[in-house]
Structures are given as structure tokens and as C-alpha cells.
Structure 1
Amino acid sequence: MFRSSAPRTAAALSACALLLSSCGGGGSASMSTLNLGLTDAPVSGVSKLWIQFTGVEVKPAGGNAIDFMFSPEKGFDLLSLQGGTTATFLNDTAIPAGQYQWVRLMVDTKPGASYVMDSTGQHDLTIPSGAETGLKLIQGFTMPVGGVASFTVDFVLSKSLIAPQGLSPDYLLKPVLRLLDNTQVGTISGTFMASTLSAQSNCGTRPPVVYVYTGAGVQADDIYNPPTGTTDMDPASSAEPLTTATAALNSMNDYAYSMAFLPAGTYTVAFTCDPDDPTVDEDTLTPDPIHFKIYPQAVAVTTNMTTTVNF
């Protein structure tokens, strides 16, 4: 269902302008086709993370927001959307061409609509901004006249999902989202040698987690989601990862990973098997409990290509 957020009269006038000639005049507004998908970077410690959505809203520059309501609602287990797997929000959806300012994922706020499952059972998932603003990506994009634009929302769960002590055993979602143009992204993938893993702490009991940082020569840092009103005080030479991926055993019984939807560019790649709690800034502890193994060369990602990084 397509609707404008403007009052009904204005919406009706806008709708007439979008039709070829059904409202009397002979002109037509320029249209475009939007595809919008959803993917996820994995998170450890949970077996399912279900979020239910009621629709998507996009905001044209200088115009009223446009809603696309789902009937019925669309729900996804985000943990199933990894390694390049996507779910569909919008498929071949006609919208006016032009510049857009933001995308909003409208969350179903009914009790129990979104939840987390871990080793102790099913728990509520609180999304503080869900009722007021949904999950909003303030990131501009362009819809070409008479063309098709395909985007993917990358849900970086490793930065987003936390389990505050005061909320236990329930979870809190502080969403970190990226809007990616599917024509401008590539993939990093690779495997691990047993000798590499044996030299790293905790790799005998935990799978390796790969961290990707924007730029070359970045000092690998842990994930830290500071409390509201505070900031991460790490030095400029270090940076939180753009995204992460947890490796899994493949058919050859080797650990392997794949990280899709990376914008073309240069990256620093590292891994660790040490646990990373997003509510704790581990590198401020003595000794630092997280030990990273950094890939020795800068890694270049090319559009529509896969770059191999083996450890």
C-alpha cells in the first residue's frame, strides 16, 4: 500500500500528479523503481532475533514522506540474513524520481512482536525509538528518472544488540544501520588455517570473529556502544569496526567467513576469538582482554567483486 503522510487533500492532489492522465491534464510526473532489502552482520550469544515491521517510509527532498504499509506485517529473523543473504522490504516499487533524504523502517510496537532467543529461552526486545521514529536512516539517496535503484539496509547487530544489567534477561536494541547502494558494494571472504587459530587465545573454544575497519593501517578496536549521553574516548588512530562477521565451519571443516555489502574502498581486516561485550570498552581495561590478529596488508574492495583474505 502506497500513501503520502500529508493530509488527504494534498495526498489526493499529489496522486493525481503521479498518474498519466486519469485526473484530467495530459502530463505525468517522472517515476522510478525502488528495490529495498535487509541484511545483517551476525552477533554471538543469541540463536534468533526476530523483528516485525509494519512498513517503510521514504522522504523526498522538499516533499511529504511516502509510506509503504505492509499487510500483513513483515517479520524477519535477522540472524538468517548473513553472508550476503537478504530479505525484501520493497520489490519493483514505483516512486517519484528525485532526491530523497531518509528511510524509516516502521517497527511493529505490539507486545511480543519482536523478541530474542538465547540459551535461556525467549526474551523481550526493547527498541527505544520504535514507537516514535521507527528505525530511521538519515542518509540521502537518488532515484533515477525511468530507472531502477536497489538498496540494502545493513543491520549491524554486533553494535546494536545489548543486554543491560537492569533489563536482564531481556534485550535492548540501539540500532546501527547502513543504507547501501547495491551497485557500489563488494565482498570480503576467506578461511582460517588451523595454525593461525592455535596461536590466538580462546580460538579453541570460540569461533573467530572478523572485524573490518574503514581505511588502511587502522588500529583494531573493540565494539563499544556507550551509554546515552557519553562518547567513546579512544584515540583517533583506532576506530570501531564498520561491521563484523562470525566464521563458521565449512564442508572441509575449516572456519570460513563472508562479508558482503561493503562499499568499494580500502579496509583494515582483523580477527579475534575473544568475547567482545558492546557495553564495555575493553581496551580501557588492564590488561586488554581482546587480542586482535591484523591482516598485514590493506584490503581493497571492488564493486561487484569478492576479495579473498585468508588468515
Structure 2
Amino acid sequence: MIKQFVAISTLSIMMLMGCQKQEGGSGTVSLDLTDAAVNNVAQVYLAVSSVSLHGPDGTLNYKLSNDIHDYLQYPLLDYNGGISVSLLKDAQVAPGAYHWIRLNLATEGNLDTYVELEDGSIHELEVISETGLKLNRGFYVPEDGNVSFTLDLDLQKSLIRTKNGYRLKPVIRVVNNDDIGRIAGRVDASLLSSNRCNQAAMYLFRGYDAAPSDINPKNDPEVIVPVNLENNNAYHFGFISSGEYSLALACDPKDDPEAEDEMKFLQQKNVLVRSSYTTFIHMDL
């Protein structure tokens, strides 16, 4: 077993590699983490102990830690609206096909992975998967090349309220950083007040003229973001793959990921997302 240690500030990354290595050159992999925001929650903390990649040399394990903990804790709501945080930066790997990515979590129940509500109460976050957050998304690393992805953890779909607290049923998009755009805009205050909306959210669906719906297996929205009523009713989608989409405004969305819910959509517009551009779409009365 070969062990290679690289220190970056307070972050220590340990790469455990198989004894047999592919001859030839190498490539690099970069991974960032972001999340789609969620209403009625002050913060969600995710403690990641390591990142695993499975490829030509077997499973590579990159350990994340600092001087205090054997994990790194990420306040997820700090990383939305086009903001992300780096998990791996130019990690050197063997070129070839990779079959999955996994974020291994610390869930010991001592305020490592947990939810903080707006009233200040704290709830340990139960994670359904015993193997952490595993993404069965394949990718290819070319020799002397770099691949860069953003992992978008959709808390609106992933955070489940239970009788005893909260659990995480992870829904994660993997986005190629070489082909992403953004959508931003605002909602007319008169549109919200005339419909007596206390909260609002923007739902993004694949394709033009999509039929808007709640979170469900048949027509699942690509991403959901809240409308910020305290900031001129603004909204922002970051890290969206280029393509054609439908954008729908929901009034007072109470969307349980595990149930069918009646939704009140006020407006819908088509939007074309182009790589490296921000497309502005406003919802007016």
C-alpha cells in the first residue's frame, strides 16, 4: 500500500492507492460542493471525513480533516446562489474511466452533521445511506487532462422532516464545470401580494413548456430555489448545465419530497441557459 500525504492549510488530504498503478501519465480531478437553498432552516452542517473515487487504480480515498476533527464541517447554506466550496483541487489520478464518487460522512451524533432551525433549536441529521453520499456517475479522466465537477446537494428534495427530527435522503446533481450557466431575476411584489403569498420558490424543469409539478418521480424539478422576500424578491440558480428549461413560480410551496402535494404556480416562462452566461428572467404582474 502506498500512502501519499499533501498538506493544504489546515486541510490534510491522504490518498490511499492500490499497489498496482497504471503506466503512463496522469490527470487531475477537482470537485466542488454547493447546495440549493431551503426555507425555514437556519443552517445545515455536513461533516465530510473523506472523498472516494473508484477508477483504474481501484478506490482512491482522500481524507479530509483539520487540527481539531477527523473531518471537515461544511455549513451548506453558505454555499448557494452560485457560491461553492472546494472538496478536491487538482487531485492527481491515473487516466481512465471512473465509476462513482462518494462523500463519506461523520455522523457520530456529536454535532458533526446536523440541522439548526430558525428558532435556534438543533437536530442531529440522520443519513439514510450507510455508505455516505454515493454518486453512481461515471466520468473519464484524459491523460494530462483535468476534469472539474460541482456536486449540487438539493436540500429542498433531500431534507426530510420526521417525528424525531430530520434525515437526509440525498439528491445530488453532478455538473460539469466546463458547461454551466446561471439564472437570476426577481419577482414583482404586487404579484406576490395579490396572491397572498407568504413564501415563494422558483421551480426549474428540463425542456420548454414543461408541466410544472411538485417533487415527484414522474416530473421531478431539476432544481428549486427560494425567492428571497427580504432582498427585493430576488432568486438565483447557480451551476445549471446549458440547455432549454421551464421556470415556474410557486406560491407558498409546501412540498414534501415523499408525498404528493397540491401546488399553486403563478407564472411560467421558458429560459435558455448558455455556458458561462447569466440569464435574467423576471416574474411581473
TM-score by length of structure 1 reads 0.80
Gaps of 5+ in 1: 5-10, 18-27, 225-231
1:128 equivalenced with 2:128 (yes/no): yes
What is the identity, as a one-letter code, of the residue corresponding to 2:116? M
List structure 1 segments (4+ residues) > 3 angstroms apart after TM superposition. 279-283
Structure 1 counterpart of 2:15:
2
Distance 1:279 1:159, change over 3 A: closer
What is the identity, as a one-letter code, of the residue corresponding to 1:189? A
1:292 equivalenced with 2:265 (yes/no): yes
SS in 1 for 2:58: coil
The CA distance in 2 between the partners of 1:280 and 1:147, in whole Å, is: 41
Structure 2 counterpart of 1:217:
209
Structure with bigger helix share is 1
The CA distance in 2 between the partners of 1:254 and 1:241, in whole Å, is: 24
1:310 equivalenced with 2:282 (yes/no): yes
What is the identity, as a one-letter code, of the residue corresponding to 1:309? I
What is the identity, as a one-letter code, of the residue corresponding to 1:158? Q
Structure 2 counterpart of 1:229:
none
What is the identity, as a one-letter code, of the residue corresponding to 1:53? V
Query: Is the CA contact (8 Å cut-off) linking 2:57 and 2:94 kept in structure 1?
Result: no
SS in 1 for 2:170: coil
Which residues in structure 2 correspond to 1:51-62 (within 5 Å)?
Answer: 51-60=46-55
Which residues in structure 2 correspond to 1:106-255 (within 5 Å)?
Answer: 106-112=104-110, 113-118=112-117, 119=119, 121-129=121-129, 132-165=130-163, 167=164, 170-202=165-197, 205-206=198-199, 208-224=200-216, 232=217, 239-249=219-229, 254-255=232-233
SS in 2 for 1:12: coil
Gaps of 5+ in 2: 1-13
Structure 2 counterpart of 1:12:
19
- Highest CA radius of gyration, 1 or 2? 1
SS in 2 for 1:292: strand
TM-score by length of structure 2 reads 0.87
Query: For each residue in 1:78-115, what CA deviation from the matched residue of structure 2 results, as whole angstroms up to 9, or x when unmatched?
Result: 11111111111101211111221110001113222111
Aligned residues: 264
